[in-house]
Structure 1
C-alpha cells in the first residue's frame, strides 16, 4: 500500500495506516517497525515516518526506546486495568453532564449517533463498530460542555481503541454492548442523569471484563 498526497496530509495518512494495522492485528505487540521497509512500502521519507511514529507514541500505540526503532506498545494487565478505571470515571461524568446540560436538539443528535452505533454492532464488523463510536463521542462531549474533560478523554483514546477492538472481538460482546448502550440512551432521553451515569459505568465494567477474558494474545502481554 502506498500513500497518496491528496485528501489528508501525508503524515496523517501514515498514522492512519499504521494505527489500522495495529488495531487489526497485522502488527503484534512488541513487533518492531523497520524504517527502511516502511518508507519503501508507503513511499514516504524517513522524517515523515518518524513524525507519524511520534504521534502514534503519544497516542499509546507505539513505544520508541532510546537508540532503537519504534515498536508496537505492549500493555500490561495493570495498564489496561488503569485505562478502564479512568475511562469509567471520565465517561460516566460525561454522560451525567450531558443529561444535565445538553439541549433537546443535542439529545436528538445523540439518539441518531446511537442508532448508527447499534447498526454497526449488528453488522458484526469490529472496524465499523469502532468507526461509529467517533460521532457518538463527539456529540456526547459537546453536550457535556466541559472542554477539560474532553481533552483528557482524547489523551486516553489511543490506548482505549486497542482495548475496545479486543473487547468487541469477543463472541456475544457486540450484542450485549448494544443492549447496554440502548438502556443508557433511554435514561438520557428520560433526563435521568443518575441512572444514565450508573448504567454507563456498568457498561464500561462489562467491556473491561470482556477484554480481560478475551482470546489469548502473543506471549508477553495479556492485551493487544
Structure 2
C-alpha cells in the first residue's frame, strides 16, 4: 500500500509540474510534449509521465491524439467565448445561491478566502493567483449548496485555468480583477443577490475580453 501511495504522489507531483508550465506559458498551446525530455527534467519514469499526462488530458490541459504524443490543448476564440458563456451562467448562479443559502459562518470563510486571494494578486505570481482562487471557489460552491452545479463547473476547470492564466498575465488585469471581486464580496456580505450576481457577470465579461485580446 505504501508503494502505491508513493507512486500516486510522484504522479501527482509530475502532473503539477507540467500543469504549472502550461499555466505560466512555458509550454505553449499546440506544443508537443516529449516524454524523454520530461522524464529527464522531472526525474521520473515514462509510466509516471504517461499517467500524469492522462490526468492532465482529463482536466483539459492536454490532448493525446491516437498514436501520437500529448500536446498542450489549444483553444480557438470561438471555444474560449463558449467556455466563458458557460462560466458566466454557472458562476452567476452560484453567487446568487451563496447569497441566498450561505450561513454567516460561510460568509466569514468567503471573506477569509477573499483576503488570501487579494494577497495572491498582490504577489504578481499567476500560479499563486490561480491556486488561491480555486480555494475561493471551493468556499463559494460549498456555500451555494448545490453539488451538481459544482460538478458541472469542475468539468471546465482545465480549460478555464488556461484562459484565466492568459487573462491574468495581461498587464493591469490582476489589479482590476481583484478590485472587481472586492465589490462582489461586499455585495454578498450585504446579502444583495441581484447586485452580487450582476457584478460577477461583469467580472467574467471583463476577464473574457482580456483573455481574447491576448
TM-score (norm 1): 0.89
Of Structure 1 and Structure 2, the greater helix share is in 2
The alignment status of 1:23 with 2:15, answered yes or no, reads: no
Cα deviations by residue, 1:18-54 (Å, 9 ceiling, x for unpaired): 1011111111111111122222332322222111111
Structure 1 ranges of 4+ moved more than 3 A: 5-8
1:87 corresponding residue in structure 2: 87
**What count of residue pairs does the alignment treat as equivalent?**
210
Question: CA-atom RMSD, angstroms?
Answer: 1.6
Q: Give the alignment of 1:1-224 within 5 angstroms.
A: 9-214=9-214
Q: 1:24 to 1:188 in 2, by over 3 A?
A: same
What is the rounded CA distance, in whole Å, between the counterparts of 1:142 and 1:199 in structure 2? 20
Cα deviations by residue, 1:146-205 (Å, 9 ceiling, x for unpaired): 001111111111110111111111111111111110110111001011111111011000
Q: 1:131 to 1:101 in 2, by over 3 A?
A: same
Q: How much does 1:128 deviate?
A: 2.1
What is the rounded CA distance, in whole Å, between the counterparts of 1:47 and 1:182 in structure 2? 44
What is the rounded CA distance, in whole Å, between the counterparts of 2:40 and 2:193 in structure 1? 52
What is the rounded CA distance, in whole Å, between the counterparts of 2:200 and 2:147 in structure 1? 20
SS at match of 1:9: helix
Q: Please say if residues 95 and 193 of structure 2, whose CA atoms lie closer than 8 Å, have aligned partners that are also in contact.
A: yes
Q: 1:175 to 1:137 in 2, by over 3 A?
A: same
Q: 1:157 to 1:53 in 2, by over 3 A?
A: same
What is the rounded CA distance, in whole Å, between the counterparts of 2:38 and 2:168 in structure 1? 29
Gaps of 5+ in 1: 215-224
TM-score (norm 2): 0.93
